[in-house]
Structure 1
Amino acid sequence: MTFYIGSIVITVIIGLLLKYSRLSHPFSRAVLMLIILNVVVSICLLENVFQNQNPVLNDGIGIRNSLAYLIIGEDGWTHELFKAAFDQSIFMTLILLGVYLILLITEEWPGKKRNTR
């Protein structure tokens, strides 16, 4: 969970920096970067789930990459923990996609000029 909170804080900072650099759609671009990072994390967690399906072949349960290690940590490795971390990552990706769509709509809304004839 610390990884996700840190990612959101960094995304807000990047969004503010993009806003002050006067780029169009700064916050949606920052959230898009977070979505891409979250997809990479989901792939790493999925790899970890698949690699630990048969602990006899892999000499026990282990973490296969550093991103999964950052998210899961050191204690209490179980198949359920790996699956729960992957499920949370997918859930966060879906939430971020919703936030991204809302931000795109709200950032574009003031730029639209309507004819009221």
Structure 2
Amino acid sequence: MLFVILVLVVWGIYTFSMMKRKGTGFKLSNSLPLLTMISIIVTICLGLNFVGATSLIDGSYSINNSIAYWIIGEDGWSYNLFKSYFNYSLIVSILLILISAMIKYFED
């Protein structure tokens, strides 16, 4: 949850600074690609972690990369937990892509 808040704060600061810098020429669709890219990277990392959880070698779950560790944390690792985080991240990424496309369509 802390990771999500951090990403939204960074995106908010980026959007605010771009609005201040460009003035009326700034469009919201110009700041959404950054958020969408971060979401896709997070989805890939969580997907890799989920796939790694499906092939248990020593009978225990582990986190394969630091981004997945920042998001999931240390508590209660399980196959279902990794799957749910990946599914939510995938849904958010798809929604962001659709929202970006709709905003770009209606702004032009």
Calculate the TM-score normalised by the size of structure 1: 0.79
Kindly provide the CA deviation profile for residues 33-79 of structure 1, in whole angstroms up to 9, marking residues without a partner as x.
01111111111111101111122x25521000000001111100000
Distance across 1 between alignment mates of 2:82 and 2:50: 6
**CA deviation after TM superposition for structure 1 residue 25, in Å:** 4.4
Q: State percent identity of aligned pairs.
A: 29
Q: For the pair shown, which has the larger CA radius of gyration, 1 or 2?
A: 1
Counterparts in 2 of 1:104-115, with a 5 A limit?
Answer: 104-108=104-108
Gaps of 5+ in 1: 109-117
Tell me how many residue pairs correspond in the alignment: 107
User: Retained in 2: the 8 A contact 1:44–1:65?
Assistant: yes
User: Retained in 2: the 8 A contact 1:16–1:27?
Assistant: no
Distance across 2 between alignment mates of 1:39 and 1:75: 24
Calculate the TM-score normalised by the size of structure 2: 0.85
Distance across 1 between alignment mates of 2:85 and 2:93: 12
Q: Which has the higher helix share?
A: 2
